[in-house]
A and B are shown apart, each in its own frame.
Chain A
Amino acid sequence: MLDCKQASQIISQSLDRNLTIRERFALKLHLLICKYCKLFSRQMQILRVAIKQMSASIENNHKIEMPSEAKKRITDLVEAHSAQP
């Protein structure tokens, strides 16, 4: 019988690899009787989605611009390289 510590590890690993049949069965059994690990499992799903959303919100935020010093630096570098034969 899994305890919550073991169950939470398997839940986390289920995001990273395929569980064995034995693990899946043991986890299912545990989740039937443990609402906290069920909540934990749901939290892990939410986290994964939220992390991706966070990346998307940065990528689509047009207020974020590259600092002008960096732009200047890159422009200068590009010019220096173009000047070369």
Chain B
Amino acid sequence: MTTPNMHEWLNEHSDYLYRFALARLRDPHQAEDVVQETFLAAIKSPNFAEQSAPRTWLTGILKHKIIDVMRKSVREIAVSDLMNDEDANMDEFFDEQGHWTEKPQTWDMPTDALEQKQFLGVLQTCMEKLPAKAAQLFLMRDVHETDNEEICKELNISTTNAWVMLYRARMGLRKCLEINWIGN
């Protein structure tokens, strides 16, 4: 009895779950993996046949799987590279007096749908250019709104380290955006 039910769920929910995961992880392979783990966890669950709102239930499982993946990948990349980041100076952005070398510009946010799509496209490209570790930390913070202290505990880093990494990620992103979107 259970298999047909699960087949239905696969047909009905796998695309939705995949998009949900992709929006948060931005990596197609990782997204496939967490959906797979979600279904496997679901079928092993003794009470899965009784779920009246399977999508909500599956999404709940998926969320945990996503956070696990993020923890793992951020943990892998963090420790050695962090040290470089903490010392990294910001000379490319500021002169010796601490003034902006390239002044921030006014960003006119796109109002129509097409421009907005273009903007998000550029943002996506800029995200991909960030060092993997910075991008992951950034997503963890700004998309998941994971608490800073929790991030630091997970990564076993100081809060100062996390702030420096997030600062660098944001500075890199805004520079990329000024060059590739605002500038044209």
Residues on A facing B (Cβ under 8 Å): 3-6, 8-9, 12-13, 15-17, 36-37, 39-40, 42-44, 46-48, 50-62, 64-67, 70-71, 73-75, 77-79, 81-82
CA distance A59 to B17 in the complex (A): 9
CB pair A82 B18 closer than 8 Å:
no
Cβ 8 A contact of A59, one of B7, B19, B127, B142: B19
Per the 8 Å Cβ criterion, residues 27-78 of B in contact with A are 28, 31-32, 35-36, 39-40, 43-44
CB pair A81 B40 closer than 8 Å:
yes
The interface residues of chain B, by DSSP majority, are classed as: helix
Residues on B facing A (Cβ under 8 Å): 2-3, 6-7, 10, 14-15, 17-20, 22-24, 26, 28, 31-32, 35-36, 39-40, 43-44, 90, 93-94, 97-100, 103-107, 109, 116-117, 119-120, 123-124, 127, 138-139, 141-143, 148, 159, 162-163, 166-167, 170-171, 173-174, 177
Cβ 8 A contact of A8, one of B3, B109, B141, B171: B171
Cβ 8 A contact of B123, one of A6, A8, A54, A67: A54
Contacts of B139 in A (CB 8 A): 51
Chain A residue at minimal CB-CB distance from B167: A12
The interface residues of chain A, by DSSP majority, are classed as: helix
Q: List 22 A-B contacts (CB under 8 A).
A: A4-B98, A8-B171, A12-B167, A16-B148, A16-B162, A16-B163, A17-B159, A39-B104, A47-B142, A50-B123, A54-B127, A55-B24, A58-B19, A58-B22, A62-B19, A66-B14, A66-B15, A74-B14, A74-B35, A75-B10, A82-B2, A82-B6
